[in-house]
Structure 1
Amino acid sequence: MSEEIEHVECLIIGSGPAGYTAAIYAARADLKPVMYTGMEPGGQLTQTTEVDNFPGYPAGVTGPDMMEDFRKQAERFGTDIRFGYVSSVDFSSLPHKVVVDEIKTITADTVIISTGATAKYLGLPSEQKYSGFGVSACAVCDGFFFKGQDVAIVGAGDTAAEEATYLAKLCKKVYMLVRRDEFRASKAMVHRVLNTPNIEVIYNTETKEVLGDGKTVTGVRVVNNETGVEQDLDVQGFFVAIGHKPNTDIFKGQLDMDETGYLKTVPGSTVTNVEGVFASGDVQDSYYRQAITAAGSGCMAALDAERYLAAKEHGVSATA
């Protein structure tokens, strides 16, 4: 008995702000989108307790509640939302082939990739325990909640330096924990950090444990790599800025990526190097990484897909 292959006009892979926004626009354009949520429906925002910087929520909203609102809106316009993960893809010919959960094959005229990126953490159990309760991987998202308090940030690159100076505007004191005896950041960013009076850089330092009272973070235990001496820093917030990993492994060899694995798109669009495949959100944005910018690029991806299909239908070149 041969396997039944399902064909769809628009397939959306991933279900964060980018995927859901793409679904809303694609459904309203009558593209009858089918979305596979991935193993974490709602994406990174489901790990966020409070979201205060997304327009339209004047009183703030929790990440899971906001993603539930996005889901309901996408479903209201007819998006077929399915729990499952895409295990492999074949973009070598049209229509594109996608395998779901390693067993089901779907062909699609257009594919919108919104698989996001995953923040890298240190891997400490205590860090995981207080994730969303004082531990964060996004200073721009969560720094406001620590106004006037003391915080620590781990990292030595440009992002860490930028986030440390951002936190310094809000917080009383920022401890910057650098593993080696020097930064990896550019000289301009290092200069900015070193000239910010309320940032204290602690070199040759590893984080041993995030301390807390069972509810929120109360401090961080660090150890000096050279001397082995431990000390506890009294902080209310602990920020991790050691990078993100885009969720693009299954697209390797099929789509153009930068050296860290982010999908490349034609500037000003969501168009990838493969006809009919579009990328939106954090999977192709290593710079802004905000819910609102992800949602905006999800809108762009749906519009790009709609225009691509319309051009194809009328025999016009579908390239951007």
Structure 2
Amino acid sequence: MPELDELLAQARVVALPMVTRFRGVTVREAVLLRGSEGWTEFSPFPEYGDAEAATWLAAAIDFGWNEQPPPVRDAIPVNATVPAVAVGAVPAVLARYDGCRTAKVKVAERGQSLAEDVARVQAVRAAMGPEGRVRIDANGGWNVDEAERAIHALADADLEYVEQPCATVDELAELRARIRRWDVPIAADESVRKATDPLAVARAGAADILIVKAQPLGGARRALEIVAQAGLPAVVSSALDTSIGLGMGVTLAAALPMLDHDCGLGTASLFTADVTTPPLRPAGGMLPVGRVAPDPARLDELAAAPDRTAWWLARLARCYALLPG
């Protein structure tokens, strides 16, 4: 493992502006590091505590300094991601995702109504056509009754699956039992990546699909172990990473024995600028497998303000102190 001084000396803190607000974020900050195996990223969301963020640092070090699992495919199919935008903005959002056959739509946004969610999903369904796939992501924003009502209201959208409709494993299990007759799969995200036991959702029979993210789970190798032990299909998704962090997700997706669903790794399209030239955006609905490196000029252009750089370096040091060994 690299020494802390080595990490701090060569860390580059960047701030990427968003096309539209996403998860309450308008600017995404990240720390980029250059390891012996290539560039890597440390970018836990600012509100996360140090103990949780330390897992993200472990993933960054693993990706930057250790050999990764070998790929079993050379390209990854990805989905478009539609934030909780107004209906009129849907075509412009989808236009940023070249050739994507699947769209994930954010719902249950605080301050918005179910009617707004339904209208947004229906607009995406109309744009994708009958052959396209539409999935929704509530980020745990509904209780069981609200989720059941929403899924019923979206019956005409022919949903591929519903991602994290409720916050807890028990709620997911109850909802899954209620909607079993509707044949709408449940996918678990926060119940995997933010859980002290990421396998609890599988043991409880609370989900049909796992959403796995490389950084929050400690890296590609640990995520692969979780998927193997859970015995459920997996979808690899982004944690709103820069193109460097997306490369870590692509590495994970490329190493999965089975990949039955398009992955949520096209999120570089949510930024107005990125650290690589070109950004790691889908072409023909696919991302290539392989490491990417930042453009030095982009690192300078997108450098975070000095106070934010100091904040991130102090956070990195605190998280480093929490790593085993």
Structure whose residues are more often helix by fraction: 2
TM-score class normalised by the smaller sequence: under 0.3
Q: How does the TM-score come out when normalised to structure 2?
A: 0.25
Where relative contact order (Cα < 8 A, 6+ residues apart) is larger, the structure is 2
Q: How does the TM-score come out when normalised to structure 1?
A: 0.25
Greater radius of gyration (CA): 1
